[in-house]
Amino acid sequence: MAKESGLGMTVAIDDSGGSARTISNDITSIDWATPREEQDITGLDKSARERLLLLADFTVSISGVFNDASNMSHAVFSTVPSSSVARTTTLTISGQVLAGELFYTDYALGRSSSGELTWSVPGALAGGAVPTWA
């Protein structure tokens, strides 16, 4: 087991038609989380917390550079406002894969005063399947 950087990461996200598109080249940053809900079940007879693990989740926040080339980020995300489909999202780092069915809820574009045209999209687990690294 070796420590590694996140260099060479691959991100593939389905377009609204269900075709996986590798858009890693357009992405400048990505954050993801796989939190679990918890329930406090501490009884009055305890001096420390007792908890149960509950539902799992998977969320992402992705930012990138506008690219309207065929099958790249704009083609994938431009349909977010007009389609209500879950999209398979696959993160691959050093042969480790985390995949899930996510809903993307916004495709926000921005142009800075220096001329950069960028986008950001938030995604959240849609299908009820526990996100698992493989």
Q: What's the pLDDT at 1?
A: 64
Backbone angles phi, psi at 80, to 5 degrees: -55, -45
What SS3 state is found at 110?
A: strand
Q: Alpha-carbon distance 99 to 19, whole Å? A: 15
What mean pLDDT do residues 117-134 have? Answer: 95
Residues 6+ apart with CB under 8 A from 13: 20, 21, 23, 76, 87, 88, 89, 90
What mean pLDDT do residues 110-132 have? Answer: 96
Number of helical H runs and strand E runs in the chain: 1, 10
**Are the beta carbons of 32 and 91 closer than 8 angstroms?**
yes
pLDDT at 2 > cutoff 90? no
Q: Alpha-carbon distance 60 to 5, whole Å? A: 19
Q: Alpha-carbon distance 42 to 21, whole Å? A: 47
Q: What is the pTM (predicted TM-score) of this model?
A: 0.90
* Helix residue spans in the chain (DSSP H): 73-77
Q: What's the pLDDT at 118?
A: 98
* pLDDT tens digits for range 23-56: 999 999 999 999 999 999 999 999 999 999 999 9
Q: What's the pLDDT at 127?
A: 85
Confidence of residue 126 (pLDDT cuts 50, 70, 90): very high
**Are the beta carbons of 118 and 63 closer than 8 angstroms?**
yes
